[in-house]
């Protein structure tokens, strides 16, 4: 099958799955993103599973990225396809360059479950992106940390990395705040100590506390203490 035929089949399927109401909803969630067809994430994931069972490398090597869903579909296939870290690494690198909004970033990270099999290799891989000046490369690295590395063996390294990030980009700040909130839920004492000694700017610091307070897993007593910590 030619590259043109593969992409025609993919696009026709996406049009078939389109939902106008969801398109309007998604456009409001990602106002900076154009070319949204309007396919719900569960439907995209089902389609991605079909592709991942076949010649997924052939698909990724020729896939078009004109639409939001085409890009998201590629990320899902990378996560779902069977393969080693070494097999997928070049596809992950290529995909990261296509990330241009928070939704594509976060769904991609959530799907990279091979990280649990290759903790150290993925950690080394992420270091380059933790020093990136690109808003979404940096968000990718932060979301990967909060999804997979807030565990006993890595939490101190995660906090050290968060402390060394200096960015004025909104989606980076929000990712840091999200990560800090997850640290609090899993390691509350460690997180409070971090907040008391962190280099976070006031916006990110206060957003971190806000996100912790919004969690149903935090007691009212602790929420009250956290409110007093706001700057």
Burial of 12 (0-12, 13-18, 19+ CB in 10 A): exposed
The two tokens of residue 144 are 């990967």
Nearest C-alpha neighbor of 130 from the set 164, 181, 79, 96: 164
Enter the pTM of the model.
Answer: 0.94
Judge if 2 and 42 occupy the same domain. Answer: yes
Q: How many CA atoms lie within 13 A of 218 on its CB side?
A: 24
CA 96 to chain centre: 10
CB-CB contact of 54 with 24 (8 Å) = no
Residues 38 and 96 occupy one common structural domain: yes
In 3-state terms, what secondary structure has residue 173? helix
pLDDT of residue 58: 93
- pLDDT mean for each 10 residues of the chain (231 residues): 79 93 90 90 96 94 94 97 96 97 96 97 97 96 98 97 94 97 96 94 96 94 93 88
112 in any annotated domain: no
The CATH code of the domain that includes 122 is 1.25.40
Domain end call among 71, 101, 131 = 101
Return the residue matching tokens 């000694």.
Answer: 197
Domain assignment present for 107: no
Residues 88 and 9 in one domain: yes
Residue 15's domain comprises 1-101
The answer as to whether 67 is a domain residue is yes
Please give the pLDDT value at position 1: 66
pLDDT of residue 6: 81
Closest of 194, 163, 157, 193 to residue 176, by C-alpha: 163
How far is Cα 224 from Cα 231, in angstroms, rounded to an integer? Answer: 14
Q: Does residue 218 lie in a domain region?
A: yes
pLDDT for 113: 97
Are 85 and 125 part of one and the same domain?
Answer: no
């Amino acid at each position: 099958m030619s590259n043109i035929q593969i992409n025609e089949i993919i696009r026709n399927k996406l049009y078939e799955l389109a939902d106008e109401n969801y398109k309007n909803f998604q456009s409001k969630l990602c106002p900076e993103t154009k070319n949204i067809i309007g396919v719900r994430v569960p439907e995209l994931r089902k389609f991605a599973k079909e592709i991942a069972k076949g010649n997924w490398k052939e698909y990724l090597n020729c896939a078009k990225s004109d639409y939001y869903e085409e890009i998201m579909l590629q990320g899902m296939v990378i996560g779902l396809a069977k393969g080693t870290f070494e097999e997928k690494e070049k596809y992950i690198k290529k995909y990261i360059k296509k990330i241009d909004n928070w939704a594509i970033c976060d769904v991609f990270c959530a799907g990279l479950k091979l990280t649990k099999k290759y903790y150290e290799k993925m950690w080394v891989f992420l270091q380059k992106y933790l020093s990136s000046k690109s808003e979404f490369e940096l968000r990718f690295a932060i979301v990967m940390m909060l999804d997979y590395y807030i565990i006993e063996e890595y939490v101190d390294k995660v906090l050290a990395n968060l402390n060394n990030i200096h960015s004025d980009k909104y989606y980076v700040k929000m990712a840091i705040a999200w990560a800090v909130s997850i640290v609090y839920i899993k390691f509350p004492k460690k997180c409070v100590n971090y907040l008391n000694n962190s280099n976070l700017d006031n916006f990110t610091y206060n957003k971190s506390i806000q996100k912790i307070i919004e969690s149903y897993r935090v007691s009212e007593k602790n929420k009250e203490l956290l409110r007093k910590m706001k700057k």
